[in-house]
Amino acid sequence: MAKKIYVDVILQHSKEGQIRPLAIVWANGVKYTIDKITQITRAASTIAGGTGIRYTCYIQGQARYLFLEEDRWFIESKGQGA
């Protein structure tokens, strides 16, 4: 079953006040760089159960949703666990 996994995220705060996630840090310490962000929108995650601002990120060539819910970041896991 899909799970909601909170992750550490490395952020860049621009001088205009925008934030942009640069990388996700997995629980085992491995850092995954976000190569590209193609969409930023408000959206609910019905899979993981939550809502917030959804970033469509490309990590190692794969699209992945990263959600900012209030002040925490989460991803939708497809069951393989963190």
Partner 1 sequence: MDRVILHCDLNSFYASVECLHHPEYRNVPMAVGGDVEKRHGIILAKNQLAKKAGVTTGEALWQALQKCPDLILVKPNFSHYLRFSRMVRAIYADYSDKIESFGIDEVWIDVTESIHLFGTPRALADAIRERVKLELGVTISVGVSFNKVFAKLGSDYKKPDATTEITRENMKEIVWPLPIEDLLYVGRATTQKLHLLGIYTIGDCATTEVAVLKRRLGKWGEVLWRFANGEENSVVSVQHYEPLVKSIGNSTTCPRDLRSLQDVKIVTYILAESVAARLKEAHLMASVISIGVRDIHLKGFTRQIKLSQATHLSDDIAHAAMGLFDKNVDFTTPLRSIGVKASDLSVIELPIQLDLFTDQVAHQRALNLENTIDVIRERYGFNSVQRLMMKEDPLLSQFNPKQDHVIFPESYFKG
CB of 35 to partner 1, least distance (A): 26
CB of 30 to partner 1, least distance (A): 27
How does strand 72-77 pair with strand 3-6?
antiparallel
For CA atoms 71, 76, 79, 82, the dihedral sign is negative
* Residues in 28-57 at the binding interface with partner 1, rule: CB under 8 A: 41-51
CB of 22 to partner 1, least distance (A): 25
The torsion angles phi and psi of 59, rounded to 5 degrees, stand at -125, 120
Give the binding site for partner 1 (CB under 8 A).
1-2, 41-51, 70
